Structure 1
């Protein structure tokens, strides 16, 4: 839980900075900063994916995960949720502005491969590297979002704490039944999803990363079956 707490503190700190400099960040600068963040996300994803030892399991997991994800259509559900949120928080009074900032930033910080992969690594192996990297990215992002959306962004720290905390604690309960090879495959697959997220941030692709999330959990099934 240490990394999750650090992540929440980074968001809060970023929001406080954003409130101080609110209105002072040119659009061109904020776009350039986000592009730099996207490149860092790509670096993290590439570094993690190179650690996978079983390429065949990775390919099969991605294929099966994509099939399941498309059948469930996680991406469509998230888009519907986003549309619902927009319809509910479209007015411009202060109360709605706070709610809008809270909801939008919560979705951004929680619905992403780094949040899931980092929490799994934290709970399964005690490796905080991904979540610490995410903390830096979220902290920088929260500066920009707070400057444009206001104080509501700071409350997303609560969402991050609950979301990542539950995944971390759940993963720690499974640490005794998951082998090192299973964890390695899950990390490699999750890192590939992080690469997709980075490419989307750069607007180079439009990969439905959410529909690929089930792929990360395929190695668990292979491990239970004794294949991995």
Structure 2
């Protein structure tokens, strides 16, 4: 089954978040320490990802153009309204916005080489090993995120399944259209761009920055277009 690995990944995020929610009633001082440690870990992950880029100019242009588009489209406000709607429906705690957990978890789970290579292996070779490995990592991560950021983390399984499932279903087409060399460059640039977004998340989790991270999301689409554009018309 082509989508087996993706569905397992989504299920581990749900289960991990539900387990994490069981640990929500920890003392505020302990929660604050855990949040700061989580922020440091996320920043380190972002730095490691950011150093994998092949073309820093593409990464910079992607972030600048993407942030302009995000501010223009007001993605942050739209996502916040969705989060508030979910919060009302689920009667979630007011001190932890659903949108914060959703955006944070989505970026951590979706951005990275495994989120691309895994579905490609699933679609082309019916090999789900990479996604099974990613599922274990995401499962443990969702426990930590769920215990600190709340129910919003659970909803991140939706973009994960849609994103990875789409790649898996289109894997054969992608394999025919995209050369191995271009795919390597694409993954490197996407990972580097995503790493900077994840660093912004880490700073936000630690309370050191108030970056509207949702408004940076178009950078992910822009980096794909610029990478493809550079392969066709070198600049």
The TM-score range, normalised by the shorter chain, is 0.7 to 0.9
Alignment of structure 1 residues 67-78 onto 2, 5 Å? 67-78=68-79
Q: Could you tell me which residue of structure 1 aligns to residue 126 of structure 2?
A: none
Q: Could you tell me which residue of structure 2 aligns to residue 56 of structure 1?
A: 57
**Partners of 1:84 and 1:17 in 2: how far apart?**
22
TM-score (ref. length: structure 2): 0.72
Which of 99, 104, 108 is matched with 2:101 structurally? 108
| Structure 1 residue 107, shift from structure 2 partner | 6.2
Q: Which runs of 5+ in 2 are unaligned?
A: 123-129
| Structure 1 residue 34, shift from structure 2 partner | 1.3
Q: Could you tell me which residue of structure 2 aligns to residue 210 of structure 1?
A: 214
Matched, 1:123 2:119: yes
For residues 132-183 of structure 1, give each alpha carbon's deviation from its aligned partner in whole angstroms, at most 9, with x where no partner exists.
544332112324567xxxxxx4x975x4443211100223326424422122
**Partners of 2:186 and 2:36 in 1: how far apart?**
33
| Structure 1 residue 116, shift from structure 2 partner | 2.7
Asked whether the 8 Å contact 2:66–2:216 carries over to 1, the reply is yes
Q: Could you tell me which residue of structure 1 aligns to residue 167 of structure 2?
A: 171
Q: How many residues align?
A: 208
Q: Which runs of 5+ in 1 are unaligned?
A: 90-95, 147-152
| Structure 1 residue 190, shift from structure 2 partner | 0.7
TM-score (ref. length: structure 1): 0.74
Asked whether the 8 Å contact 1:44–1:194 carries over to 2, the reply is yes
Asked whether the 8 Å contact 2:146–2:153 carries over to 1, the reply is no
Q: Could you tell me which residue of structure 2 aligns to residue 92 of structure 1?
A: none
- After superposition, the CA RMSD in angstroms is 3.3
